[in-house]
């Protein structure tokens, strides 16, 4: 007689918008970030526990949770009077890597930034190839540091990085990290973002459940036609 063996299903990992109820994860998050920086031997700016807690309380953080177990984290922040937004601190513990969590977390932080500040440019400063790939999938393009925020508070955060001296010596023109920018007025950026986020409808549902409908990832028809006319005029 054949015996039917119960197969253990892998626990579901959820990507959630963090809030005050999640602040007890902060120490584990920071320990995971510090361990990753040590292994990589490259720059990851240090975060203050109170700062990370505040991001959760302000609704600017995203967590990956497997039941109650910490499985990933990232947060967003605004600069230059909300003209720029960063998605930062993306981390996934070793035991949860290889499951596509970084991409799902990036979907959520990017969508959160687009929803709350739809006119803002979203940028990233990173030395990690995996993060650069994620950024490119979301429509980011490599840019010079001069095209990023001038907000001194942002650059002050780089002081905790082991490569901060490089940034100082070059008068903030370049460093080990690569600057990448998503411009909401760039049709190419919008098209890439639309294609990427269409892969994760659950992300949209989570954002819209709390904040309402997402902004369109395409230029208004009138504005698109204007850009098309400009391009056509170059070939006349």
Q: Which CATH number fits domain 13-233: 3.40.1640.10, 3.40.50.10860, 1.10.10.10, 3.40.630.30?
A: 3.40.630.30
Sign (positive or negative) of CA dihedral 160, 162, 168, 171:
negative
Higher-confidence residue: 219 or 93?
A: 93
Q: For 54-88, what is each residue's pLDDT tens digit?
A: 999 999 999 999 999 999 999 999 999 999 999 98
Sheet holding 121-126, edge to edge: 13-17, 61-66, 69-79, 84-91, 121-126, 178-182, 141-143
pTM of the model: 0.84
Q: For 136-157, what is each residue's pLDDT tens digit?
A: 999 999 999 999 999 999 998 8
Give the model's pLDDT for residue 2. 47
Higher-confidence residue: 231 or 22?
A: 22
Backbone φ, ψ for residue 75 (5° rounding): -145, 170
Backbone φ, ψ for residue 62 (5° rounding): -130, 135
Decide if pLDDT at 7 tops 60: no
């Amino acid at each position: 007689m054949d015996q039917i063996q119960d197969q253990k299903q892998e626990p579901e990992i959820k990507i959630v918008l963090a809030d005050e109820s999640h602040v007890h994860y902060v120490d584990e998050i920071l320990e995971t970030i510090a361990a990753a920086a040590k292994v990589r031997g490259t720059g990851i700016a240090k975060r203050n526990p109170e700062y990370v807690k505040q991001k959760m309380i302000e609704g600017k953080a995203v967590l990956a949770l497997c039941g109650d177990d910490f499985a990933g984290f990232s947060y967003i922040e605004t600069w230059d009077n909300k003209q720029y937004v960063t998605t930062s601190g993306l981390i996934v513990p070793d035991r949860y890597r290889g499951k596509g969590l970084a991409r799902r977390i990036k979907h959520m932080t990017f969508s959160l930034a687009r929803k709350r500040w739809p006119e803002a440019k979203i940028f990233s400063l990173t030395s990690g190839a995996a993060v650069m790939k994620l950024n490119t999938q979301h429509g980011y393009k490599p840019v010079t540091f001069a095209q990023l925020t001038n907000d001194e508070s942002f650059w002050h955060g780089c002081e905790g990085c082991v490569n901060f001296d490089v940034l100082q010596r070059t008068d903030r023109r370049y460093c080990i990290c690569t600057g990448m920018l998503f411009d909401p007025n760039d049709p190419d950026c919008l098209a890439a973002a639309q294609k990427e986020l269409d892969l994760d409808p659950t992300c949209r549902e989570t954002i819209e459940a709390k904040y309402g409908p997402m902004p369109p990832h395409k230029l208004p028809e009138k504005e698109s036609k204007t850009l098309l006319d400009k391009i056509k005029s170059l070939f006349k």
